[in-house]
Structure 1
Amino acid sequence: MCADTPETAVPDYRETVFLPETSFAMRAGLPAREPDWLARWERLGVYDRLRESGKGRAPFVLHDGPPYANGHLHIGHALNKVLKDMVVRSQQMMGKDARYVPGWDCHGLPIEWKIEEQYRAKGLNKDDVDIVDFRQECRRFAEGWIDIQRSEFKRLGITGKWDRPYLTMDYHAEAVIADEFMKFVMNGSLYQGSKPVMWSPVEKTALAEAEVEYHDHTSHTIWVRFAPQDGALDGASVVIWTTTPWTIPQNRAVAYNPGIAYGMYSLDTVVDGATSKAGERIVVADALAEGVMKSAKVEGFTRLRDVTAVEMEGVFLAHPYRGIADGNGEWDFDVPLLPGDHVTDDAGTGFVHTAPSHGDDDYQMGLKFQLPMTYNVEADGSYRTDLPVFGGQAILTAEGKEGPANVSNIKALHAQGALLAKGKLKHSYPHSWRSKAPLIFRNTPQWFVAIDKPLDDGMSTYGETIRTRALNSINQLVTWTPQTGRNRLHSMIQARPDWVLSRQRAWGVPLTCFVKSGTRPDAPDFLLRNAEVNARIKAAFEAEGADVWYVQGFKERMLDGIVDPLQYEQVFDVLDVWFDSGSTHAFVLRDREDGASDGIADLYLEGTDQHRGWFHSSMLQACGTKGRAPYRGVLTHGFTLDEKGMKMSKSLGNTVAPEAVIKEYGADILRLWVAQSDYTVDLRIGKEILKGVADSYRRLRNTMRYMLGALHGFTEAERLPVEQMPELDRWVLHRLAELDAEVRDGYARYDFQGVFQKVFTFATTDLSAFYFDVIKDTLYCDAPDAVTRRAARTVLDLLYHRLTTWLAPILVFTMEEVWLERFPGEDSSVHLTDFPETPASWRNDALGAKWAQVRQVRRVVTAALEVQRTAKVIGSSLEAAPVVYIDAPALQAALHKVDMAQVTITSAIALTWGAAPAGAFALPDVAGVGVVFEAAQGKKCQRCWQILPDVGTHSHPGVCKRCNDVLG
């Protein structure tokens, strides 16, 4: 190494040393500099140039799951988009034509809700506004947020067709969504049914499972007596338990399980003031009897006898509101006791109150036993006004709070003598993820797609029904990353009911169908199925957008000359937004020139919540209209948590905004956090984690900076053929060949964490801590035309091209900076290049094994010298000339023809075969190596700092022979 201050008696040789030279700054300054690179890529048109140059390549299409256009990006958005970007960029650089068209979900309740909030703030009523005007306000709201989010996504360094994204509210998109819906009209899978669906009284619409989240909620709980009729069960009351007292008016049956053991119990003594009565008899499941008694405040009870399934068969009970004052006979009917497999003895009483209009199990019981449906609950969550006793009372208010209905029912049951006990229960309960208000199950007429109905559409390769096509697609056609995604979606599709498509809202694509007036929904001519009408609708939407559906006279315009418009009614429900996003494969993958030739994406990539969302709806929709899944691969990532593993929440103050991270560190640090994380599980992020990421970045940046400095002035004339290189340099090429295979395999499997870890370890351990350390003397002090220096510089150039491109999909800004440091120019960009091909001939496993052993010996020597340095015996390793004892034949062979003085950065070294003497330094994990310290003999070369015997004996004063020859 080279002195800063040579001895005064000799010349200053500093100018003769080839020190690294680069303008690549040690401090990145990413927050200030990244926008300039973004502007540069915009000027270059990098994405479009890649499409042009990539013609003829095998395509790779990542189809973007559309974010919702209604707010600033959160850290989950950043995680998702960065993962997508790393996929697209790595596939492109591995030789594909990797296309990425970003998109947005624009219709639906979240935007409509925002506009309604604005109306309410102004004291206006949405229903008083022309629906087309209202929809136009929703459109403008979405447009504003699309522009904001697009800018925020681009700031993350995301590549894509940003100047022409897809929007579900574009006229063509709306036309295709309507056309895809009409395929279900035509194939016979669409039907109108009346069944209980998850309903938001606040938003006045049905919700899909994907729009529901579960929170703790405190509910009323009641135990209710149902009295047997005609002397059955010896007059003992059957007791049910429910957490929804408001559903009692809708009760039409009580269910039991023939496989459960039931008993008849006498209540002997009860607590004063209890609603249970001493001496009464009840029937409950034996496993639950003790809990029921405790809730009913029963101090003493006796089990009288078994109550068998045979005894309960055919029994009728009185509705608890039979004969209620002012009931007008509404509930004066018998309630059947019916067998049901869904009944358990895990909680409750072993009997289940059954209201077919307000629960799926209840509905299925209703279908099986032909129980009557009720329509007692209105869209706003209140009882119909003409319902006796409870008419007009709210179950949930417009603000999502509890209305009077529950308490009114509890009081009425008590007055009827039907209330055995009451209480409160805190439990997980469904809420709307938009309004955060509780939901109810409500029976309403809705439009469904039958997923088990055989379809006569000529697409039966993977099954006759939507469900079988979906399950076969999952098992046969799709690669899952991680594999657990397959299991999750498979179980959901396997168990799901028919798909509810309709929403009772305004902002969306309408259900473009007509129904025959005065005709039952189950009649064959209820739905108008006419290809010519459908074609007219699609053409109108292409030209004018979906708003035209709401323009006066549209029905007549569509039906005139085909059928009598007066005989048909227009449907004004809108499609579930999941149908919108589920249809994107048709207007993006199928219809765009930059889509996929077969309309099938290579990859869908979203969070794990999309197994019940976009992955799910896309699968169902495509299986109905294409006959198979619209994707070949699905990648899912976890959610973002704070450093303690807590869910992020504004109220807790533990959120991490992408904008804040970018402002402090730069987008590349955020991208590096993604690459260093295992995205298959939930990811943690916070200040300390980001500090650690920034430290990794600094270490990597220093490696790249050193490489750039050492390559200063490198030209092709200096390049040395591989076969002429010293062994150490060929070992580096061997490592590059190993890494090339690992990097390509890792990127192909979307294992970004694995790719980065391997490259980072190589850069910091193999290069910075070893190879760069060893070759510094060669680079700084050998002659420019020396084989050793040319070999090292050639290897550095080969390293540069691979490290820079391998890391470009992750650190998009920094690797561009590294690239432009060597290859400036208006048209230059690392993102216009591919990973360089790495010759297989570089790989030499025997050489790799040999140098692994050499490095083990080096580690022992380095540790021995560190002892001397700590003891102040030496200041630099060049002051040492250790004696190394090698007692292992394999190590002796490995060190053959290796310049260990160069490798250990000492002025001299002596290798001795045999056992080390007592007291020699050794490391317990490196057997057969011992080191005895000896000081280097001679004088210090004032050019290279090595201490050698020949220093001072040459024409140039104060230097060794090597340096004297270089000086000439």
Structure 2
Amino acid sequence: MTDTSEPTRDWRDTVFLPKTDFPMKAGLAAKEPAILDRWAKMGLYDRLRAERQGRERFLLHDGPPYANGDIHMGHAMNKVLKDIVVRTQSLMGKDAPYIPGWDCHGLPIEWKIEEAYRAKKRNKDEVPAPEFRAECRAYAAKWVDVQKGQFQRLGVMGDWDDPYLTMKFDAEATIAKELLKFAMSGQLYRGAKPVMWSPVEKTALAEAEVEYEDVVSTQIDVAFEIVDAPNAPELVGAHAVIWTTTPWTIPVNQALAYGPEIEYGIARVTLQNGDVKRVLTATQLWPQFYSRANAGQQGMFAGEYVAKVEVEGVIKGFDLAGATARHPMHARGGFFAKPRPLLAGDFVTTDAGTGLVHMAPDHGEDDFELCKANGIEPVFAVQGDGRYRDDWAWLGGEGSVINPKFVAAGRGGKLEEGPICRDLREAGALLAASDDFAHSYPHSWRSKAKVIFRATPQWFIPMDRSSKPSPLQGRGLGEGVSGDPLLSVTHLDGSPLSPTLSPEGEREGNGATLREIALDAIERTRFVPEKGRNRIGAMVSGRPDWVISRQRAWGVPIALYVNRATGDYLRDPAVNERILTAFREGGADAWYAADHQALLGADYALADYEVVTDILDVWFDSGCTHVFTIEKRFGAGTRANLYLEGSDQHRGWFQSSLLESCGTRGQAPYDAVLTHGFALDGNGRKMSKSLGNVVDPLKVIGESGADILRLWVAQTDYFEDVRIGKEVLAGTGDTYRKLRNTFRYLLGALDGFSEDERVRVAEMPGLERYVLHLLGELDTELRAAAEAFEFNRYARALTDFANEDLSAFFFDIRKDSLYCDASEDVRRRAYRTVLDVLFHALVRYAAPILAFTAEEVWQARFASEDGSVHLLEWPELPQLPADQPLGTAWAEVRVLRQQVTEAIEPLRRAKTVRSSLEAEVTVPSLPLPADELAELFIVAKVRQADGPITVARTEEAKCGRCWRHLPDVAVDGDLCGRCAEVVA
């Protein structure tokens, strides 16, 4: 039989479906470069500066990376985080310029040039210094350009046409000027103190240039025969035993140290062959020494095991006062023939060793201080390359001291015995030796080679030299003629110095030391997170004087003249100005090619002065960047609002900047300091080429786009170390797609929206007012998160709002109204009005993080050749009536909605209903009409009654257009009253 009924009409052409050309597939890797080009052509950064001129300013001062290679994930994380900070501050209406910069001097650059030399079998020392420096400058310039492009590709907006570089002539002149401020105020001295020294790189290193690695070293016990002991004559002929893990320092030994309160025992040791030896150690450390000495080592015990130990007597450390011992190599005469005094040292403990410590003032801070207090000076036996001086009586011309073969005990079959242990054994002074001591040891983070403590003439800024008020000025700290406080006013020898004022007016002091001023500045600084305060505070509290000199070629020279007769450096404002003029015209190279007599002028004879050739520590360079970047561009006395770097910079740039500014200005150069953790691989391991676990940011950008990387940064808890890998980035990609889908829906749903549609808040349904209320809460949360620099909180709030409040709730409920209501219907117009508010707010909120996507979204709706979302400010939201408790009331509705959804799910799984639209539910009473609740729950009908939620399949027919089951639909496929009216 033929079916003669009419087919059901397809009403899809009458439904108002969202319409947009904005693609769901992002294609960021291809799109982002075009967006960058557009920003460059329209001069976006300069436009923003012009539009924000006169507004409250926010200055994030960029910590300079080294210009020596492609960027890594740490760079990317740091720069993106800075960009997010700057963009949020700009969004909040502030003038937030960003001047990127680079550190261009120092070992990182020199090391790369030297590597190239070594590859060509070329000796760096044979290359003329000007040629070498020119190669360093060219190398740095090359990588500045490369990194500049890579940072821009990340979407980092800044003054890329005029970055700051420490190697620009003006910057080098400013660095020299800051040094001369320290010099003029007496905050500078040259002294021979032990500093960390790299024999491979042949220069002093700062703590920030050192990393610690686990190593296995040689440990030896050495006997020093006591030749005099006024307070304990019985000790004469006995051997004071020391233990050390740096055998190479024994040839430079000058004394022994004891603890005055430590108990020492004189032990009579009988060997198996009948020989008797008498040794002195701390009594509580005898078991450890016995164990080491009884391990069958060749030496004083001649390979014989100990048969018997008898304690002859016990003394206190203070009984050793005035005692002397002779060096094991005393027979070589000269330096080694002089008796070694036993000195009281409060640093001597019984934690390890023997309770007696050998003192080499050339190679230890405690050694240096104790020996200096007793009139013993360094001898500078170890040269810069780690070899002993050619004229040294023992091992002259040999080394290097960091070579394990040179210091090896030769036990265990791994290494042959080195010359130090060999000679000590032959002298009968080696009591125990082994190559198995595991411990942590400092290495240069560039060459990865071991460093040593080595006393060399270096330039220092003192931490604890008190300042003295200038008799020419009666104001307090920080109120000098130029606003720069004068701190230390003493000569190198500590004698008082009447301060000389520079033309600008130098600083006056009030008795505070640099350490005290810096610690006070730390207390006045905001730290994010707060634990950073204690970290840098502890470092500044315990740090030694700042060694600012380096024995290298590529850097800003310490432009001083030292009087050959007095050892003091010249302080003359006129000479200083001539030096600085030369620097401004020719950069730091001008010092090496200078006519120094011309710089000194007629008042001084060059023959009377030593021209200093050391260069400045690059940390001093970078510590001055606030001067030639922030102050130069924004006015004298201007401070940065924020410094933002990795947590390792508490001992690096944060600290060098703090000390430089406190020493010249009496205050920190920053209001706040933010620190982030390090980027680890997906398993939480440090990235390493050898492990093959490096995640290259350039590869991520090339495959997925910079916005994925930017979103990853924002989502992480970057105050701690963070992970990145395929799984992490996959999760970030999912989050991104949901946000992109939200924007795509908004664009489609707002197709054709005009101001004529806009509905006043008072005329809106409750749901729309509630969503505006939620948007207001989001706005408050995002502002708070931005002010706190908590962008993981910012990103989480934004994504949760988009996913939970909009996509899963508001959009889901109102899609029926959007698709099926008449275009002039107030409910549909109210919905589209709120969507417009949401669009303008969300695209702004997202712009600091998703810099490229937000621009793409904005241009998709408001295409303009010279417009940009990044020129916009924080959105102004519609005002809601203050007397409506929207949050609490609608929170109850949402809870009930979720419960209804859960109650329908079993019927859906059983295929009793195919969608919630086929369900009728009974729910507890709420102060909303049943038909409105049905729309909110997306069901056919709602009944309100006391008791549990119940669900049943509806018997109502289904509208062929809106698919709702309604009583005014006669049969499935007919239209409900609303749809019939709209279609008509």
TM-score, with normalisation over the residues of structure 2? 0.91
Contact 1:92 1:834 in 2 (8 A): yes
Of 411, 434, 442, the match for 1:423: 434
For residues 837-881 of structure 1, give each alpha carbon's deviation from its aligned partner in whole angstroms, at most 9, with x where no partner exists. Answer: 235646777211111111111111111111111001111111111
The answer on 1:948 being equivalent to 2:945 is no
Contact 1:851 1:894 in 2 (8 A): no
Partner of 2:500: none
Partner of 2:323: 315
Partner of 1:267: 269
Contact 1:196 1:360 in 2 (8 A): yes
Distance 1:707 1:19 in 2: 12
Distance 1:430 1:439 in 2: 6
Q: Given the superposition, is the C-alpha separation of residues 894 and 232 from structure 1 closer, same or farther in structure 2, using an over 3 Å criterion?
A: farther
Distance 2:271 2:878 in 1: 90
Q: Which runs of structure 2 are paired with 1:564-575 in the superposition (5 Å)?
A: 564-575=605-616
Partner of 1:583: 624
How far the C-alpha of 1:310 sits from its partner, in A, is 3.1
Equivalent residue letter for 1:112: E
Of 87, 90, 93, the match for 2:88: 90
Partner of 2:285: 288
Q: Which runs of structure 2 are paired with 1:219-234 in the superposition (5 Å)?
A: 219-230=217-228, 231-233=233-235
For residues 473-524 of structure 1, give each alpha carbon's deviation from its aligned partner in whole angstroms, at most 9, with x where no partner exists. Answer: 0012x1000111111111111111111111111100000111112x243xxx
Equivalent residue letter for 1:958: D
- Aligned CA RMSD, in angstroms, stands at 2.0
- Farther-moved stretch of structure 1 (233-242 vs 210-219): 233-242
Distance 2:818 2:808 in 1: 16
Q: Given the superposition, is the C-alpha separation of residues 253 and 874 from structure 1 closer, same or farther in structure 2, using an over 3 Å criterion?
A: same
SS at match of 1:882: strand
Equivalent residue letter for 2:41: R
For residues 910-936 of structure 1, give each alpha carbon's deviation from its aligned partner in whole angstroms, at most 9, with x where no partner exists. Answer: 111x22xxxxxxxxxxxxxx2222222
For residues 676-722 of structure 1, give each alpha carbon's deviation from its aligned partner in whole angstroms, at most 9, with x where no partner exists. Answer: 10111111111111111111111121122112111111111111111
SS at match of 1:229: strand
Of 372, 388, 393, the match for 1:388: 393
Partner of 2:314: 306
For residues 635-665 of structure 1, give each alpha carbon's deviation from its aligned partner in whole angstroms, at most 9, with x where no partner exists. Answer: 0011111111111110000110101111221
Contact 2:823 2:829 in 1 (8 A): yes
SS at match of 2:941: coil
How far the C-alpha of 1:434 sits from its partner, in A, is 1.0
Q: Given the superposition, is the C-alpha separation of residues 842 and 697 from structure 1 closer, same or farther in structure 2, using an over 3 Å criterion?
A: farther
Distance 1:9 1:903 in 2: 32
Of 443, 463, 476, the match for 1:451: 463
Contact 1:784 1:790 in 2 (8 A): yes
Distance 1:8 1:287 in 2: 107
Distance 1:946 1:628 in 2: 70
How far the C-alpha of 1:94 sits from its partner, in A, is 0.6
The answer on 1:689 being equivalent to 2:728 is yes
SS at match of 2:36: helix
Distance 1:203 1:756 in 2: 45
Distance 1:573 1:371 in 2: 26
How far the C-alpha of 1:281 sits from its partner, in A, is 2.7
Distance 1:328 1:958 in 2: 117
How far the C-alpha of 1:284 sits from its partner, in A, is 1.8
Partner of 1:922: none
Partner of 1:488: 535
Of 715, 718, 738, the match for 2:777: 738
Of 929, 932, 936, the match for 2:950: 932
How far the C-alpha of 1:99 sits from its partner, in A, is 1.2
Contact 1:187 1:455 in 2 (8 A): no
The answer on 1:824 being equivalent to 2:863 is yes
Equivalent residue letter for 1:907: A
- Report how many aligned residue pairs link the two structures: 920
Distance 2:6 2:246 in 1: 96
Of 815, 828, 831, the match for 1:792: 831
Distance 2:645 2:24 in 1: 36
Of 142, 146, 162, the match for 1:164: 162
Partner of 1:467: 515
Contact 1:446 1:500 in 2 (8 A): yes
Distance 2:879 2:462 in 1: 55
Q: Given the superposition, is the C-alpha separation of residues 567 and 459 from structure 1 closer, same or farther in structure 2, using an over 3 Å criterion?
A: farther
Partner of 1:411: 422
Contact 2:931 2:942 in 1 (8 A): no
SS at match of 1:53: helix
Partner of 1:251: 253
Of 630, 636, 643, the match for 2:669: 630
Equivalent residue letter for 1:906: V
Contact 2:897 2:936 in 1 (8 A): yes
How far the C-alpha of 1:785 sits from its partner, in A, is 1.2
How far the C-alpha of 1:8 sits from its partner, in A, is 5.6
How far the C-alpha of 1:300 sits from its partner, in A, is 4.9
Of 704, 712, 716, the match for 1:665: 704
Of 444, 453, 457, the match for 1:432: 444
How far the C-alpha of 1:369 sits from its partner, in A, is 2.0
Partner of 1:134: 132
Q: Given the superposition, is the C-alpha separation of residues 28 and 191 from structure 1 closer, same or farther in structure 2, using an over 3 Å criterion?
A: same
Distance 2:960 2:779 in 1: 41
Q: Given the superposition, is the C-alpha separation of residues 10 and 627 from structure 1 closer, same or farther in structure 2, using an over 3 Å criterion?
A: same
SS at match of 1:97: coil
Of 529, 542, 545, the match for 2:587: 545
SS at match of 1:60: coil
Distance 1:842 1:290 in 2: 82
Distance 1:908 1:299 in 2: 100
Equivalent residue letter for 2:38: R
Distance 1:199 1:436 in 2: 13
Distance 1:376 1:182 in 2: 32
SS at match of 1:98: coil
How far the C-alpha of 1:265 sits from its partner, in A, is 2.8
Q: Given the superposition, is the C-alpha separation of residues 369 and 898 from structure 1 closer, same or farther in structure 2, using an over 3 Å criterion?
A: farther
SS at match of 2:670: coil
How far the C-alpha of 1:370 sits from its partner, in A, is 2.1
Partner of 1:927: none
Unaligned runs of 5+ in 2: 295-305, 410-417, 479-484, 486-509
Distance 1:669 1:844 in 2: 42
Distance 1:804 1:361 in 2: 61
Contact 2:267 2:278 in 1 (8 A): yes
TM-score, with normalisation over the residues of structure 1? 0.92
Equivalent residue letter for 2:324: F
For residues 160-210 of structure 1, give each alpha carbon's deviation from its aligned partner in whole angstroms, at most 9, with x where no partner exists. Answer: 000110000001001100100111110011111011111111111111111
Distance 1:937 1:649 in 2: 66
For residues 761-797 of structure 1, give each alpha carbon's deviation from its aligned partner in whole angstroms, at most 9, with x where no partner exists. Answer: 1110111111110001011111111111111111111
Distance 1:8 1:232 in 2: 126
Distance 1:430 1:469 in 2: 30
How far the C-alpha of 1:450 sits from its partner, in A, is 1.4
Partner of 1:871: 910
How far the C-alpha of 1:938 sits from its partner, in A, is 2.4
Distance 1:714 1:303 in 2: 100
How far the C-alpha of 1:89 sits from its partner, in A, is 0.2
Of 781, 789, 794, the match for 1:755: 794
